[in-house]
């Protein structure tokens, strides 16, 4: 029997329906690892693990764990091995990138001030890349292959009711004329399912946080507080920017040398000013078009998270971490507000057509 030679034409990359969850798990695990390492090192006085003059840095442990995660992905084909690889790889990547300061300085300085800012930029870029991957709906072939991934669980008697429901939803997104769609649906209909297992700790924590989040954003006082926060922050930022510019102009003309501002601080101030202008433009149009105003607010928060926070981490890591947490909460709230306003607009359009 002859075998067909491998094609030199590159094959399309097939996206996983679980990619969003696994990439989230990877990033959460990585960030948690960095925080844990820095906390333990600070609490123990930054000890060094050395054997006969050899310093064993935790970047080596990180590399080993990342290799282990790749081996898991290459050697096993069940879905749980992919989840395990996301956790193991996340721990490894966190341990690896925590020592970034040593590899961008001539003197191997772990405490290099911009390190946290560089780590932050890395995770922002990773998040943007993950959103680009998951931005579009799955294609017909991707839905079929992801449904097949779920069907594989039936072989090891581990297909639960929720997974079968998810597989059928994926098949509903396929081209019904494809004969494989009917074959897979018939297979799923004839399979016995186990009871849905109890969610793990990570899932319970995430669902608990989601319930708290939805409770908050459904309260009108919280939405008003968010908008008030935007207005106050923007006015204060613009006032600070104007004041600093006036002082620097006075310094230039009178040569008093009252204040010294670094280039990073000027760039942070410029990004914050752009964010404030977006907010104030949204406030001006909120009565005419709430959805457009919410998008202005969202863009302002993206400028805050992607630009302002980068310079803030360079300047002061602790306060920047607190500000980042607040900005993320506000961004999630704005996403909910936009979704609610879009749904209301869609309902109005349907009523006008009927």
Averages of pLDDT over each 10 residues, the chain, 354 residues: 47 79 85 84 78 77 94 88 91 92 84 80 83 78 82 70 79 82 79 67 71 74 78 79 74 65 73 85 81 84 78 69 75 75 63 58
Q: What is the predicted pLDDT for the residue at 3?
A: 43
- The Cα 123–Cα 129 span in angstroms is 10
Which residues make beta-bridge pairs with 160? 194
Q: Which helix (H) or strand (E) holds 207?
A: helix 201-217
User: What length is written for the chain?
Assistant: 354
211, containing H or E segment = helix 201-217
User: Among 339, 332, 345, which residue's Cα sits nearest to residue 226?
Assistant: 332
- Write down the pLDDT at residue 260: 66
H or E stretch covering 281:
helix 263-285
Q: Is 275 exposed, middle or buried (0-12, 13-18, 19+ CB in 10 A)?
A: buried
- CA separation for the pair 62, 56 (Å, rounded): 11
- Computed from CA positions of residues 184, 188, 189, 191, in that sequence, does the dihedral angle turn out positive or negative? positive
Terminal Cα distance for the chain, rounded: 64
Return the SS3 of 160: strand
Return the pLDDT at 259.
Answer: 63
State how beta strands 54-55 and 50-51 pair. antiparallel
Determine the pLDDT at residue 342: 72
CA distance 164 to 284: 49
pLDDT at 50: 67
Decide if 279 contacts 231 (C-beta within 8 A): yes
pLDDT of residue 348: 62
Q: Please report, for residues 109, 233, 321, 335, the alpha-carbon distance to residue 313 in angstroms, rounded to integers and kept in the order given.
A: 17, 19, 7, 25
Residue 131's contacts (CB-CB under 8 Å, 6 or more residues apart) are none
The pLDDT assigned to 195 comes to 65
Output the CA torsion sign for 128, 280, 323, 246: positive
């Amino acid at each position: 029997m002859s075998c067909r030679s491998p094609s030199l034409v590159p094959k399309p990359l097939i996206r996983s329906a679980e990619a969003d969850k696994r990439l989230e798990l990877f990033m959460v695990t990585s960030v948690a690892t960095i925080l844990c390492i820095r906390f333990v090192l600070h609490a123990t006085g930054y000890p060094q693990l050395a054997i006969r003059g050899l310093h064993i840095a935790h970047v080596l442990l990180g590399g080993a764990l990342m290799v282990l995660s790749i081996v898991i992905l290459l050697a096993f084909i069940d879905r749980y091995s992919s989840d395990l690889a996301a956790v193991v790889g996340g721990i490894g990547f966190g341990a690896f990138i925590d020592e970034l300061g040593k590899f961008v300085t001539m003197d191997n300085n772990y405490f290099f001030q911009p390190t946290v800012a560089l780590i932050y930029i890395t995770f922002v870029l990773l998040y943007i890349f993950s959103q680009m991957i998951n931005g579009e709906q799955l294609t017909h072939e991707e839905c079929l292959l992801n449904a097949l991934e779920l069907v594989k669980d039936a072989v090891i008697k581990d297909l639960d009711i929720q997974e079968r429901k998810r597989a059928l939803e994926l098949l509903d997104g396929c081209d019904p004329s494809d004969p494989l769609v009917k074959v897979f649906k018939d297979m799923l209909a004839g399979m016995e399912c186990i009871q849905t297992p109890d969610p793990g700790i990570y899932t319970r924590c995430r669902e608990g946080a989601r319930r708290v989040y939805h409770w908050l954003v459904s309260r009108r006082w919280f939405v008003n507080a968010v908008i008030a926060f935007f207005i106050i922050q923007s006015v204060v930022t613009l006032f600070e920017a104007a004041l600093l510019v006036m002082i620097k102009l006075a310094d230039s003309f009178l040569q008093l040398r009252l204040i010294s501002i670094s280039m990073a601080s000027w760039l942070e101030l410029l990004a914050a000013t752009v964010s404030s202008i977006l907010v104030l433009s949204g406030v001006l149009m909120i009565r005419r078009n709430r959805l457009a105003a919410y998008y202005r607010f969202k863009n302002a928060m993206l400028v805050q998270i992607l630009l302002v926070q980068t310079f803030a981490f360079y300047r002061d890591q602790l306060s920047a971490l607190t500000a980042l947490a607040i900005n993320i909460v506000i961004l999630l709230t704005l996403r909910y507000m936009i979704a609610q306003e879009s749904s209301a607009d869609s309902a109005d359009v349907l009523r006008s057509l009927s």
